[in-house]
Amino acid sequence: MTERPAIGFIGLGIMGLPMASNLLAGGYRVCGLNRSPARTALLVERGAATAASAAELAAVSDVVITMLPDTPDVETVVFGSGGVAAGIRPGSAFVDMSTIDPAMSRGIAARLRGAGVAVLDAPVSGGEKGAIEGTLSIMVGGDEAAFARVAPIFAVLGKNITHIGDAGAGQIAKACNQLVAAVTLEAVAEALELASASGVDPHKVRSALLGGFAQSRILEVHGQRMLDAAYTPGFKARLHKKDLDIVIAAEQAAGLHLPAAELLHERMGMLAARLPEADHSALRTLL
Amino acid sequence: MTERPAIGFIGLGIMGLPMASNLLAGGYRVCGLNRSPARTALLVERGAATAASAAELAAVSDVVITMLPDTPDVETVVFGSGGVAAGIRPGSAFVDMSTIDPAMSRGIAARLRGAGVAVLDAPVSGGEKGAIEGTLSIMVGGDEAAFARVAPIFAVLGKNITHIGDAGAGQIAKACNQLVAAVTLEAVAEALELASASGVDPHKVRSALLGGFAQSRILEVHGQRMLDAAYTPGFKARLHKKDLDIVIAAEQAAGLHLPAAELLHERMGMLAARLPEADHSALRTLL
DSSP chain B: -PPPPPEEEE--STTHHHHHHHHHHTT--EEEE-SSHHHHHHHHHTT-EE-SSHHHHHHT-SEEEE--SSHHHHHHHHHSTT-HHHHPPTT-EEEE-S---HHHHHHHHHHHHTTT-EEEE--EESHHHHHHHT-EEEEEES-HHHHHHHHHHHHHHEEEEEEEESTTHHHHHHHHHHHHHHHHHHHHHHHHHHHHHTT--HHHHHHHHHTSTT-BHHHHHHHHHHHHT--S-SSBHHHHHHHHHHHHHHHHHTT---HHHHHHHHHHHHHHHH-TTSBGGGGGGG-
Can you say whether the dihedral through the CA atoms of B172, B174, B175, B176 is positive or negative? positive
What are the chain A neighbours of B195 within 8 Å (beta carbons)? 172-173, 176
Residue B226 maps to a domain = yes
pLDDT of A1 strictly over 50: no
Q: Based on the domain organization, do A108 and A146 belong to the same domain?
A: yes
Residue A89 maps to a domain = yes
pLDDT of B81 strictly over 60: yes
Q: Based on the domain organization, do A27 and A103 belong to the same domain?
A: yes
- Compare CB distances from B209 to A180, A190, A193 and report the shortest one's residue: A180
pLDDT tens column, B85-140: 999 999 999 999 999 999 999 999 999 999 999 999 999 999 899 999 999 999 99
Q: What are phi and psi of B31, to 5 degrees?
A: -110, 120
User: pTM value?
Assistant: 0.96
- Compare CB distances from B254 to A188, A197, A216 and report the shortest one's residue: A197
Q: Min CA distance, A224 vs chain B (Å)?
A: 14
Residue contact A172–B205, C-beta within 8 A: yes
Q: What pLDDT shows up at residue A3?
A: 80
Q: What is the mean pLDDT of chain A?
A: 97
Residue A195 maps to a domain = yes
* Nearest chain B residue to A178, by CA: B214
pLDDT of B72 strictly over 70: yes
What are the chain B neighbours of A218 within 8 Å (beta carbons)? 213-214, 216
Residue B2 maps to a domain = no
pLDDT tens column, A21-40: 999 999 999 999 999 999 99
Residue contact A254–B194, C-beta within 8 A: yes
Percent of chain A residues topping a pLDDT of 70? 99
Q: What pLDDT shows up at residue A12?
A: 98
Interface test with chain A among B209, B218, B243, B287, by most A beta carbons within 10 Å: B209
pLDDT tens column, A220-234: 999 999 999 999 988
Q: What is the mean pLDDT of residues B141-164?
A: 97
Residue A45 maps to a domain = yes
| B38: CATH | 3.40.50.720
Q: What is the mean pLDDT of residues B59-66?
A: 98
Q: Min CA distance, A209 vs chain B (Å)?
A: 6
pLDDT of B142 strictly over 60: yes
Q: What pLDDT shows up at residue A2?
A: 62
- Compare CB distances from A213 to B125, B173, B212 and report the shortest one's residue: B125
Q: What is the mean pLDDT of residues B223-241?
A: 96
pLDDT tens column, A39-73: 999 999 999 999 999 999 999 999 999 999 999 99
Q: What is the mean pLDDT of residues B65-79?
A: 97
Q: Min CA distance, B203 vs chain A (Å)?
A: 9
pLDDT tens column, A72-82: 999 999 999 99
Residue contact B208–A260, C-beta within 8 A: no
Last residue of a domain, one of B122, B144, B166: B166
| B184: CATH | 1.10.1040.10
What are the chain B neighbours of A181 within 8 Å (beta carbons)? 213-214
Residue contact B179–A187, C-beta within 8 A: yes
Q: What pLDDT shows up at residue A170?
A: 98
Residue contact A179–B187, C-beta within 8 A: yes
Q: Min CA distance, B1 vs chain A (Å)?
A: 32
Catalytic residues of A: 174
Residue A1 maps to a domain = no
Q: What is the mean pLDDT of residues B7-30?
A: 98
Residue A91 maps to a domain = yes
Q: Based on the domain organization, do A182 and A121 belong to the same domain?
A: no
Lowest mean pLDDT among A1-10, A119-128, A150-159: A1-10
- Compare CB distances from A216 to B216, B247, B261 and report the shortest one's residue: B216
Residue contact B172–A197, C-beta within 8 A: no
Q: What pLDDT shows up at residue B50?
A: 98
Q: What pLDDT shows up at residue A280?
A: 98
pLDDT tens column, B184-213: 999 999 999 999 999 999 999 999 999 989
Q: CA of A9: how far to CAs of A14, A18, A170, B51, in Å?
A: 14, 11, 19, 78
pLDDT tens column, A196-217: 999 999 999 999 999 989 999 9
Q: Based on the domain organization, do A184 and A119 belong to the same domain?
A: no
Residue contact A177–B187, C-beta within 8 A: no
Q: Based on the domain organization, do B151 and B189 belong to the same domain?
A: no
Last residue of a domain, one of A97, A131, A166: A166
Q: Based on the domain organization, do A157 and A20 belong to the same domain?
A: yes
Q: CA of B159: how far to CAs of A16, A286, B123, B133, in Å?
A: 45, 35, 13, 10
* Nearest chain B residue to A139, by CA: B208
Residue contact B192–A213, C-beta within 8 A: no
Last residue of a domain, one of A166, A193, A218: A166
Q: What is the mean pLDDT of residues A110-121?
A: 97
What are the chain A neighbours of B250 within 8 Å (beta carbons)? 194, 198
Q: Based on the domain organization, do B138 and B181 belong to the same domain?
A: no
Q: Based on the domain organization, do A275 and A253 belong to the same domain?
A: yes
Interface test with chain B among A124, A174, A198, by most B beta carbons within 10 Å: A198
Q: What pLDDT shows up at residue A143?
A: 96
What are the chain B neighbours of A125 within 8 Å (beta carbons)? 212-214
Q: Which domain holds residue A12?
A: 7-166
What are the chain A neighbours of B193 within 8 Å (beta carbons)? 256, 258
Residue contact A208–B172, C-beta within 8 A: no
Residue B190 maps to a domain = yes
Residue contact B216–A212, C-beta within 8 A: no
How many CB pairs (< 8 A) connect A and B? 246
Q: What is the mean pLDDT of chain B?
A: 97
Q: Based on the domain organization, do A33 and A143 belong to the same domain?
A: yes
Q: How far apart are CA B206 and CA B211, in angstroms?
A: 9
Catalytic residues of B: 174
Q: Based on the domain organization, do B84 and B24 belong to the same domain?
A: yes
Q: Based on the domain organization, do B36 and B130 belong to the same domain?
A: yes
Q: Based on the domain organization, do B99 and B52 belong to the same domain?
A: yes
pLDDT of B2 strictly over 90: no
pLDDT of B1 strictly over 90: no
Interface test with chain B among A137, A138, A190, by most B beta carbons within 10 Å: A190
Quote the ipTM score: 0.96
Structurally, chain B folds into a number of domains equal to 2
* Nearest chain B residue to A140, by CA: B208
Interface test with chain A among B194, B271, B281, B283, by most A beta carbons within 10 Å: B194
